[in-house]
Amino acid sequence: MRYQSFTRLTVAALAAAAFVAAPAAVQAKKMKVGFVYVGPIGDHGWSYQHHQGLLAVKKAFGDKVETTHVENVPEGPDAERVTRQLAQQGHDIIFTTSFGFMNPTIKVAKQFPKVKFEHCSGFKRAKNVATYNIRYYEGRYVNGVIAGRMTKSNTVGYIASFPIPEVVRGINAAYLGAKSVNPKVKFKIVWVSTWFDPGKEADAAKALADQGADVIFQHTDSPAAMKLAEQRGISAIGQASNMKAFGPKAQLAAAVNDWGPYYVARVKAAMDGTWKSTDTWGGIGAGMLTIASVHSRIPADVRKQAEKVRADIAGGKFHPFTGPLNKQDGKPFLKAGEKAGDGLLAGMNFYVQGIEGSLPK
């Protein structure tokens, strides 16, 4: 896809430029970079990975930057206050890293036209507000292939958070990946209505295991499900970060969000005065998503197969949502050979054909 290769190129080029040029650039004033996290850094998932991105910025620019982060910020009025405080205290670029921070970010950005804002996973932009996100579905497709080959009960469990397009897209991609290698595979989906609640996540994993699922996907942030899979002797897929430490035997592979290259590139652009409001949606090819720690107990041919799918997606040769593809109700979604465009992906609110159950309304 042209859009994707463009993103890949720019991110790669900017990141490279940053590393080369950073030592030479002399800045009188430190660039202040702010981060707003929805969870605690210690969630070992979503917010933890964003914090790894902050550390990458620190590492890349050393004492040319000053970083600040605020964790556990509820989505809503508190996010607006925190973001505003960061802007007021002279932060030059502020990353707000949860969907619910979208309107607060837009509101604050209006009041501080000189400050640059970056909102993760939203769709509203402004002259000084850029958006960015990762094509998680690419990783889910690859891990779906692994899960489809590795399941013995032909039952894959999925812990889902909220029925927003991003989550629905992930379920569909994982299912299509599994289905492509195992026509008998069935998905069992549990909606937990939270991004981070180790207790609920563990309960959901337990319920799925009891129903015969032997590989568990999650779209929530804590490693609770991974720990449970380890205890029950079944497998799980790591989400957002590498959860190997929590499931040394259980984790088949992890899809790891790597925000570092993007953050470094954007901070660099802000330093150079080349920052513009952009919309970045990078995946495996852009280096923003990696498939990590593919377990050695996975047979070599499965690993090879998954690696080929990964490489094809990264190189733009294959798109996880390629027709012919029907919606759950049998209505056509994509014609033979047709690839889902970003618009279709962004608003996906239906299961693809073959997934049982209905989306919570």
Q: Where does this chain bind another protein (CB under 8 A)? A: 40, 68-78, 80-82, 85-86, 88-89, 99-100, 103, 123, 162-165, 193, 346-349, 360-361
Angstrom distances, CA of residue 246 to CA of 32, 213, 238, 289: 35, 19, 9, 20
Min dist CB 39 to another protein, Å, is 10
Min dist CB 184 to another protein, Å, is 31
Q: Which is nearer to another protein, 68 or 326 (CB)?
A: 68
Min dist CB 82 to another protein, Å, is 6
Are the CB atoms for 96 and 68 separated by under 8 Å?
no
Q: Which is nearer to another protein, 73 or 181 (CB)?
A: 73
- List helix spans (H) across the chain: 2-21, 46-61, 77-88, 102-111, 136-150, 165-181, 198-210, 224-232, 260-272, 300-314, 342-346
Min dist CB 201 to another protein, Å, is 17
Q: Which is nearer to another protein, 332 or 347 (CB)?
A: 347
Label residue 287 exposed, middle or buried (CB < 10 Å: 0-12, 13-18, 19+): middle
Min dist CB 38 to another protein, Å, is 9
Q: Which is nearer to another protein, 87 or 226 (CB)?
A: 87
Label residue 276 exposed, middle or buried (CB < 10 Å: 0-12, 13-18, 19+): exposed
Q: Which is nearer to another protein, 2 or 361 (CB)?
A: 361
Min dist CB 70 to another protein, Å, is 5
* Cα(122)–Cα(84) distance, integer angstroms: 18
DSSP 45: S
Angstrom distances, CA of residue 93 to CA of 97, 246, 250, 282: 13, 34, 39, 20
